[in-house]
Amino acid sequence: MKRPDGLNTEEWQKLNYDIYTLRQIRREVRNRWKHVLEDLGFQKETDSLLSVTKLSTISDSKNTRKAREILLKLAEETTIFPTGWELSERYLFVVDRLIALDAAEEFFKIARRTYPKKPGVPCLAAGQEELHCLPFPSP
């Protein structure tokens, strides 16, 4: 990536490092989800279940609240997301697909067993007062 004018070398290096770190975290989260999906029996479908684009839609608006609740439970009771991670809309779509497949609760059980919240690890990042909720209105 070409350095834009106005950024000195140190600022540019920090920006590149931050981008690299964020990509690594996203890759790790995706790998954790992929691992749980494979344990659930979706070996061939993991990539399609995790694929979210601008054209992705929620399968049933009635499932939005349940998907959000499961996603928050995953954030609070497992380490599938790193501490302080702002919940991504992407995973709301994935949980919605799991609800449609009647596999969301089993996914949660496997995730909790595979990525348990370690004792002494805070559920929230330092300075964070509450988990960031997704920007979807309640049905």
Residues 6+ apart with CB under 8 A from 14: none
14-18, 75-79, 116-120, range with the lowest pLDDT: 116-120
pLDDT recorded at residue 62: 81
Model confidence at 115: pLDDT above 80: yes
Q: How far apart are CA 20 and CA 119, in angstroms?
A: 29
Model confidence at 123: pLDDT above 50: no
| Three-state secondary structure readout of the chain | CCCCCCCCHHHHHHHHHHHHHHHHHHHHHHHHHHHHHHHCCCCCCHHHHHCCCCCCCCCCCCHHHHHHHHHHHHHHHECCCCCCCCCCHHHHHHHHHHHHCCCHHHHHHHHHHHCECCCCCCCCCCCCCCCCCCCCCCC
Model confidence at 4: pLDDT above 80: no
Reported pTM: 0.74
Q: What is the pLDDT of residues 33-81, one digit of tens each?
A: 999 999 999 999 999 999 998 888 887 778 889 999 999 999 999 999 9
Sketch the domain layout of the chain as residue ranges.
9-114
